[in-house]
Chain A
Amino acid sequence: MKNCSHWQETLWLEVYGELGPEEQQKWENHLSTCEACLQERKRLIHLLENVKEAMPEPSLSRESARALHTAIAEKLSENHHRAWWRNPFLAGYIKPLHVAAVCGMLVVAFGWFGVRGIQHTRTVKIVSDAGVEEKMIVNHIDILENLDLLEEMDTLEKLDQVMGRKNTTI
């Protein structure tokens, strides 16, 4: 026999003591006619009673309670007399650890960009050196392109000189 599914929430709310007076009346009317819901209610109440019995609320012993009081009082007075540099910043929202972490990150970031900055100027210098070399290459590009022709002309000139000497001797 199954209990009515649409009454299930009401059943649980009633068992947990959360049902309003109006719903309570309707629920009681339903219970008087529905055996399945009545049985389910009994089972649920029984389960919750078992849970409560098996896990009763623990209580603090007198010594433990005293120790708790003392520890809290000591820690609170420590807080009041704490050195200014140990106090958390902005009412505890920013802790020294957070500040240290941010400082560390800033050091790393500035260090990184600083190094990159130096490298950057060095590269500018390298680029400017390369520019001078490039200009020199452009200026002498005609010579470089016609290097073979020049070598050939040089050979012909030498040959001409040799031939000229031979003619004068004959």
Chain B
Amino acid sequence: MSLEDKELVARAQHDDPSAFEILVRRYREKAYAIAYNMCSGDSEEAQELTQEAFLRAFRSLKNFRGKSSFYTWFYRILVNTCLDSRRRRKKWERIFTFWRHDRRERTDSKEMDEDYPDPGVNSNPMTALNSKQLAQEISQALETLPEKQRVIFQLKVLHGMKIREIAQIVGSAEGTVKSHLFRATHSLRDALQDWVQP
């Protein structure tokens, strides 16, 4: 934990509004990016979740003992907030709109099949598909991963965190994180075969 964070946390624990403001300014970008990736690119939802995570963190700041760094503690709250929201959304989707979701999925896959060029025609798919389509395919591949694998892969690859930090954020041992990361990489490597060849 950097000294500045320690100081800011101590001040925030004594309800100093300027300390809250500095902490928000320091971590808002990263927090928003994590939330954005975890809620599949919905910017409004990402902003709401970022706000909720900050509020949750500040409300329970008095319980923070400084055993880990502030940012891993805060990102843990953020990841849990995003996962809770995602689970809630999935549950309601399953209850009320499963048939609509199913129909949409079928239509999407049909549309994508039509959009994508025949791999045989173009030897290098990267030149044929724009990055948006690639992002869509990656998102779909990520959606098929189990929750923990997906979170760990996103934190590592998209946000460049260290395995040690990820272990603190998701509350698992480093070995478990490595194992999840390797499995996720393996699954994605299989799912994105066309993008593996340099």
Contacts and interface: CB of A to CB of B under 8 A. Distances in A.
Given A44-B185, A51-B158, A52-B158, 10 more contacts: A18-B162, A47-B189, A53-B134, A57-B159, A58-B41, A59-B33, A68-B28, A76-B20, A76-B55, A91-B62
Contact of A54 (B50, B62, B134): B134
Given A12-B185, A47-B196, A69-B24, A52 B157 contact: yes
A52 B21 CA distance: 30
Contact of B60 (A18, A51, A59, A92): A92
Contacts of A75: 51, 55
Interface in A41-78: 42-44, 46-48, 50-55, 57-60, 64-65, 67-69, 71-73, 75-76
B142 to A, nearest CB: 9
A164 to B, nearest CB: 97
Interface residues of A, number: 36
Nearest to A45: B198
23 contacts: A12-B182, A13-B178, A43-B197, A43-B198, A50-B126, A50-B134, A50-B195, A51-B157, A51-B188, A54-B135, A55-B37, A57-B33, A57-B159, A59-B29, A59-B33, A64-B47, A65-B28, A67-B47, A69-B24, A69-B25, A73-B20, A76-B55, A91-B62
Contacts, number: 105
Band of interface residues on B:
35 or more
B198 A57 contact: no
B192 interface: yes
Contacts of A67: 47
Interface in B5-21: 15, 17, 20-21
A105 to B, nearest CB: 25
